[in-house]
């Protein structure tokens, strides 16, 4: 697929919650938080996801023309009906632009980018706004220290277009696999028909996020290594050909593992988890925006987006930028 990310934008809420701030609330020391999750700071938003999304989208759109499609690629919804993409468009102050959501938990941006790329390649749209915005802090369960210490709020957006005739940007390889046997390893059991909010059997804990980090890690690593090798092989590349890997910022140990199994110097793996925590679907585009702003990616660079999400799914997209 010949498409490119034309521009990126981001928004991080101003309020910083440090490991020290969180320590008393989750009954664990600052050292425990840092060693288990690697998250020194995370942002906590007072604005809902659609307002954060609009901040990030405006930064990505800049002075350019409006998009002809808006794809919301976020986990945390504003409400069940209508779709959150409508509220993002409302916050942007536009109307008439088709909008919908792609949902693959933490992998929503990667899957949304693949979807947007296919729609551009097929000539269905010309200029797609893809935005991931997460207010996951609302769903933290402070009785579950590990997951509560991981999550942070942020938004990031990308404008995607078809690659011009004289450009080299393209998707070199894409892969995804989903493994329902891991469905219970990262869960928010509420907010659907299984544990409807009005059902007396639904407990407050059902409406909060829980995960089993070590079991996820164990189930993921083998599948992610296989995917990583497959993507490189498909593109006929070696690890040293990669200019940058932008992984999902799942956790400090999770990001560190990428360089290890990938045969990469740590400097080639974007790591912002200590500063922002796990921002769910916004983690990958937030790290991508940072890398781009720092000049670590330019046209022609070989960039791998790689991640895992609840489900359990692993996915990766290898791009010539």
Going by C-beta distance under 8 Å and a sequence separation of 6 or more, which residues neighbour residue 234?
A: 172, 173, 175, 318
Query: Nearest distance from residue 83's CB to a copy of itself, in Å?
Result: 5
Query: Nearest distance from residue 235's CB to a copy of itself, in Å?
Result: 15
* Interaction between residue 169 and a copy of itself (CB under 8 A): no
Is the bond preceding 82 in cis, omega lying within 30 degrees of 0?
yes
Helix (H, G, I), strand (E, B) or coil at 158: strand
Contact 205, 143 (CB under 8 A): yes
Query: Nearest distance from residue 298's CB to a copy of itself, in Å?
Result: 25
Q: How many residues does the chain have?
A: 321
Distance CA 305, CA 173 (A): 11
Contact 154, 41 (CB under 8 A): no
* Interaction between residue 250 and a copy of itself (CB under 8 A): no
* Interaction between residue 318 and a copy of itself (CB under 8 A): no
For a copy of itself, give the closer residue by CB, 182 or 259: 182
Query: Nearest distance from residue 118's CB to a copy of itself, in Å?
Result: 4
Query: Nearest distance from residue 314's CB to a copy of itself, in Å?
Result: 9
Q: Which of 17, 89, 161, 249 binds a copy of itself (CB under 8 A)?
A: 89
* Interaction between residue 279 and a copy of itself (CB under 8 A): no
Query: Nearest distance from residue 34's CB to a copy of itself, in Å?
Result: 25
Q: Which of 18, 29, 35, 79 binds a copy of itself (CB under 8 A)?
A: 79
Q: Which of residues 4-63 bind a copy of itself (CB under 8 A)?
A: 48-49
Distance CA 12, CA 130 (A): 17
Going by C-beta distance under 8 Å and a sequence separation of 6 or more, which residues neighbour residue 165?
A: none
Distance CA 270, CA 34 (A): 18
* Interaction between residue 107 and a copy of itself (CB under 8 A): yes
Count of residues near a copy of itself by CB under 8 A? 76
* Interaction between residue 81 and a copy of itself (CB under 8 A): yes
Q: Which of 9, 38, 117, 277 binds a copy of itself (CB under 8 A)?
A: 117
Query: Nearest distance from residue 136's CB to a copy of itself, in Å?
Result: 9
Nearest Cα to 2, choosing from 112, 204, 190, 160? 160
* Interaction between residue 293 and a copy of itself (CB under 8 A): no
Phi, psi of 171, deg, nearest 5: -85, 115
Residue 192 Rama label (left phi>0; alpha psi -120 to 50; beta): beta
For a copy of itself, give the closer residue by CB, 40 or 314: 314
* Interaction between residue 97 and a copy of itself (CB under 8 A): yes
Contact 264, 243 (CB under 8 A): no
* Interaction between residue 138 and a copy of itself (CB under 8 A): yes
Q: Which of residues 170-209 bind a copy of itself (CB under 8 A)?
A: 174, 176-181, 183, 186-198, 202, 204, 207-209
């Amino acid at each position: 697929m010949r498409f490119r990310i034309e521009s990126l934008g981001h928004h991080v809420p101003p309020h910083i919650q440090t490991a020290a701030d969180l320590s008393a609330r989750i009954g664990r020391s600052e050292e425990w938080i840092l060693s288990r999750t690697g998250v020194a700071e995370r942002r906590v938003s007072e604005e809902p996801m659609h307002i954060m999304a609009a901040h990030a989208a405006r930064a990505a759109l800049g002075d350019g023309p409006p998009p002809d499609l808006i794809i919301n690629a976020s986990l945390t919804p504003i409400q069940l009906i209508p779709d959150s993409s409508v509220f993002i468009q409302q916050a942007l102050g536009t109307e008439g632009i088709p909008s919908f959501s792609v949902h693959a938990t933490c992998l929503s941006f990667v899957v949304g980018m693949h979807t947007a790329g296919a729609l551009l390649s097929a000539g269905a749209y010309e200029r797609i706004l893809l935005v991931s915005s997460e207010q996951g802090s609302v769903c933290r369960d402070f009785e579950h220290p590990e997951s509560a210490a991981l999550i942070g709020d942020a938004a990031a957006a990308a404008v995607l277009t078809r690659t011009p005739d004289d450009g080299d940007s393209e998707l070199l390889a894409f892969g995804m696999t989903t493994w329902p046997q891991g469905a219970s390893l990262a869960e928010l059991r509420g907010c659907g028909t299984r544990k409807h909010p009005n059902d007396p059997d639904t407990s407050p804990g059902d409406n909060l996020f829980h995960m089993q980090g070590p079991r996820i890690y164990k189930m993921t690593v083998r599948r992610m290594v296989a995917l990583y090798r497959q993507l490189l092989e498909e593109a006929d590349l070696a690890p040293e050909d990669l200019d940058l890997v932008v992984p999902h910022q799942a956790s400090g140990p999770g990001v560190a593992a990428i360089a290890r199994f990938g045969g990469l110097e740590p400097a080639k793996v974007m790591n912002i988890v200590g500063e922002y925590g796990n921002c769910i679907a916004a983690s990958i585009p937030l790290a991508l925006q940072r890398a781009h702003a720092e000049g670590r990616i330019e046209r022609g660079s070989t960039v791998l987006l790689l991640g895992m999400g609840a489900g359990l799914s692993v996915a990766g997209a290898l791009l010539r930028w």
